[in-house]
Amino acid sequence: MTFRIWTLACLTACASCSEARESTADGGKAAAHTIGANHPAADGCVPRARGGRAGVHFHHVHFNTTDPAADREFFERFFGAPSVDFCRDASQSVLTRATETERAYFLYTQVAQPADPALNTYLEHVGWIHPDPAAELQRLVQLDAPRFPVGRAQCDSAFEGRAPCSNYWFYLQAPSGARIEVARGPGPARSGFGHVHLVMGEDYTFFEKISGGTFRNKALDDVNHTDAALMESLLDGELVTETRGKPIDHIAYSTTELDAERERIVAEGIGIAEDITYKAEYGFRSFFVKSPKGIWVELVEDAAFGQ
């Protein structure tokens, strides 16, 4: 299959409000510092505390959107995932807000043009687990939640709000264009945000290596990296692209020892896609790697989620 690198659209310039702060592009667009640096830019976030549990943990899902506030409102209204202050500057002014789910943050990059929503990457959607998808669909219909169009496993009855597909799953569509599933499973999580869904054919050895052994049974911190039901053949005839620049831009893991994890990952034979920089708009240092099938993964220096 042919891969192409997706280039981010030109970003809107930062203004004085906190929403405009979110328009700074992730992944090295902020002012770069040396690998050992751990200090904010003059107008950036105070570095986030990074004590607590050692090792690699699931940290966030990162979306591209023209309106971060609309996406935060979507997850808060329909899934009860609150908007939270993610980082502040030295004067304690809030610079970046995030969505806080049960098992990870959702972060956002504001882009000038909507990201291409075509389902042509190996990272297909993210999902919530619910014990009764039929009841949950009816609740969301009453709230006028936007359902994803019919096709690619979204059935007519789910789109019309009558019943989940096979009484098991259905999909909503976030303002970013990202596909959001509600399903009875699978995975270790029993409720709430519980999985990122990869198309079959993804190399799970890659995730095992970058997690340093904490990725087990296709899951990291109860966030399942499932490949059930979505076969690689679904991508046949499509131009398969990397996740960068798509509505779901990348997923991210955290570590309290970023430099040591970088050295370990390189020793595992994994290339660094973007090297360590300080992300002034988020208050952490990070670097990026990329799976063999084009899923971008960020390693951030931060405490484990929930600490």
- The string of pLDDT tens digits covering residues 142-164 is 999 999 999 989 999 999 999 99
Check residue 239 and give its pLDDT: 73
Residue 233's closest CA among 205, 256, 201, 207?
A: 201
Q: Using CB atoms within 10 A of its CB, is residue 7 exposed (0-12), middle (13-18) or buried (19+)?
A: exposed
Please compute the mean of the pLDDT values over residues 5-18 and round it to a whole number: 32
pLDDT at 252: 98
Give pLDDT, residue 8. 30
| % helix, strand, coil for the chain, step of 5 | 15, 30, 55
**Residue 202: CATH number of its domain:** 3.10.180.10
Is position 13 within any domain? no
Please check whether residue 306 lies inside any domain of the structure: no
Cα–Cα distance, 11 to 63 (Å, whole number): 14
**Residue 3 included in any domain:** no
pLDDT confidence of residue 236 = 67
Give me 71's structure tokens.
């996406």
Q: Determine the average pLDDT of the residues in 185-208.
A: 92
Q: Could you give the number of structural domains in the chain?
A: 1
pLDDT at residue 28, rounded to an integer: 35
Q: What is the pTM of this model?
A: 0.86
Reported as a pLDDT band with limits 50, 70 and 90, residue 269 is: very high
Region 36-62: mean pLDDT is: 81
Tokens 């169009």 appear where? 149
- Three-state DSSP state, 170: strand
Instruction: Give the Cα separation of 12 and 22 in Å (integer).
Output: 10
The stretch 48-73 carries a mean pLDDT of: 96
What mean pLDDT, rounded, does the chain reach?
87
Question: Has residue 253 got a pLDDT over 50?
Answer: yes
Domain containing residue 167: 18-301
Residue 177 falls inside a structural domain: yes
In a domain, 254, yes or no: yes
Residue of 306 and 36 predicted with greater confidence: 306
Q: For residue 275, what are its two tokens? A: 């090297």
Say if 265 falls within a structural domain: yes
- Give yes or no for a contact between 217 and 255, defined as CB atoms under 8 angstroms apart: no
DSSP 8-class letter at 17? S
In a domain, 9, yes or no: no
Is pLDDT of 23 > 90?
Answer: no
Overall average pLDDT of the 287-294 stretch: 96
Is 4 a domain residue? no
A 10 A CB-CB count for 190 gives 11
